[in-house]
């Protein structure tokens, strides 16, 4: 996937610990493999919160273009599941404005991430996703 100054590779991989989604930032060489539960935690994050992660890492945090709304053409969804979570992942949008759509089936939440946001996630430690679990199912006011 490509976006404003970001190129990332996203692929499903099988590890000895189960299925993961690998997000690799090609320019930096950073990559992360996320389990279905870690992917589910992304569905209740905000684009502003993800921009703050980027800024905390010393990177410029350009605003993400308006969220793509409604039904979008895209690739077929791929399911990643384990005993804790199940998510559907697919690429949506048009050339130049592609997003990775992640939908947590069990809780009915979803997010569409731009290439720049995925690049930021590729450089995060797994502790970041543990912190996301401190507010399961999103911030208190949104439940």
Helices (H) and strands (E) in the chain, counts: 4, 8
Using pLDDT thresholds of 50, 70 and 90, give the confidence band for residue 136: low
| DSSP one-letter code for 119 | H
Is the CB of residue 73 less than 8 Å from the CB of residue 121?
Answer: no
CA 27 to CA 96: how far, in whole Å? 18
> Chain-wide mean pLDDT for the chain?
84
pLDDT tens for 41-65 read 999 998 998 888 877 654 544 444 4
The answer on pLDDT for 142 being more than 60 is no
Per the model's pLDDT, the better-predicted residue between 68 and 70 turns out to be 70
- Average pLDDT of the residues in 91-98: 79
Per the model's pLDDT, the better-predicted residue between 60 and 101 turns out to be 101
CB within 8 Å of 111: residues ≥ 6 apart = 42, 43, 44, 45, 101, 102
Give the predicted TM-score (pTM) of the model.
Answer: 0.83
């Amino acid at each position: 996937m490509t976006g404003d100054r970001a190129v990332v590779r996203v692929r499903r991989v099988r590890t000895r610990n189960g299925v993961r989604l690998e997000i690799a930032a090609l320019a930096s060489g950073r990559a992360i493999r996320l389990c279905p539960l870690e992917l589910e935690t992304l569905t209740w994050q905000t684009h502003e919160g993800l921009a703050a992660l980027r800024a905390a890492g010393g990177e410029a945090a350009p605003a993400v273009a308006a969220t793509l709304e409604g039904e979008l053409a895209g690739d077929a969804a791929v399911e990643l599941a384990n005993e804790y979570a199940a998510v559907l992942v697919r690429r949506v949008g048009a050339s130049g404005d592609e997003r990775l759509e992640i939908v947590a089936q069990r809780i009915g939440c979803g997010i569409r991430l731009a290439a720049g946001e995925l690049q930021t996630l590729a450089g995060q430690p797994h502790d970041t996703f543990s912190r996301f679990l401190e507010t399961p199912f999103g911030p208190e006011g949104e439940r």
